Amino acid sequence: MVKNAMTADYLRSAYGGESMAHMRYLIWGEAAEKDKKPNIGRLFKAIAYAEWAHARNHFQELKEQKGDFTVPAGAVFGHTDTVENLQGAIDGELHEVEQMYPVFMEVAKFQNEKGAERSFHWAVEAEKIHAKMFKDAQDAAKQGKDMELGPVYVCSVCGHTTADNLPDKCPVCGAKQEKYQHFV
């Protein structure tokens, strides 16, 4: 439950940003598949799922804030080729990692909003990984290739994303292994 207006504003903004990232990655994922880069397409779709988990967590924190709001939120636009789409993805993730979530977390901490602080923390930990994965994808796409990519695992609780091994439990939120969604 959120008590303070400023934290509520930031939760709504983060919800808006994550919702739009979710949609954008589904669109760019479909474009990567058409561009004959199925692994990059699968990466976009797995990360779209992680952004959905973030949006849901922020929305859940706002469950008692009923009403219709206009929500200002960062949104990356542009829909061209796979390399450029990946640049948009990298820029969006880095904005969240370097500016948006650190500021939102400080405000939540200052206002003693523990649920919001946790929701922001879970999101930013995943966004750091997303930025790196999109960079790896872009390195391959710049050479005209698809990326090398094994199964991608996304924690349905916090959005933690990994392509290495299925963790025994989530290193970010502590959820059990069976909470991970598999993108193969």
Q: Quick one: 14 or 170, whose CB is closer to Fe ion? A: 170
Q: Quick one: 111 or 133, whose CB is closer to Fe ion? A: 133
Q: Could you say which residues in the range 95-134 bind Fe ion, by CB under 5 A?
A: 127, 130
DSSP assignment letter at 62: T
Q: Which of 23, 71, 73, 173 binds Fe ion (CB under 5 A)?
A: 173
How near is the Cβ of 148 to Fe ion at its closest, in Å?
Answer: 20
How near is the Cβ of 81 to Fe ion at its closest, in Å?
Answer: 21
Instruction: For residue 175, state whether it binds Fe ion (rule: CB under 5 A).
Output: yes
Going from the C-alpha of 180 to that of each of 53, 58, 145, the distances in angstroms are 12, 19, 28
How near is the Cβ of 98 to Fe ion at its closest, in Å?
Answer: 13
> Which amino acid is residue 53, in one-letter code?
A
Q: What is the 3-state secondary structure (H, E, C) of 140-173?
A: HHHCCCCCCCCCEEEECCCCCEECCCCCCECCCC
How near is the Cβ of 73 to Fe ion at its closest, in Å?
Answer: 14
Number of residues that bind Fe ion (CB under 5 A): 10
Q: Quick one: 50 or 111, whose CB is closer to Fe ion? A: 50
Considering only CA atoms, give the Rg of the chain. Answer: 16
DSSP assignment letter at 99: I
**Which SS3 state, helix, strand or coil, does residue 176 take?**
strand
Going from the C-alpha of 151 to that of each of 10, 112, 181, the distances in angstroms are 33, 38, 10
Q: Could you say which residues in the range 146-165 bind Fe ion, by CB under 5 A?
A: 155, 157-158, 160
How near is the Cβ of 67 to Fe ion at its closest, in Å?
Answer: 27
Which spans of this chain sit near Fe ion (rule: CB under 5 A)? 127, 130, 155, 157-158, 160, 170, 172-173, 175
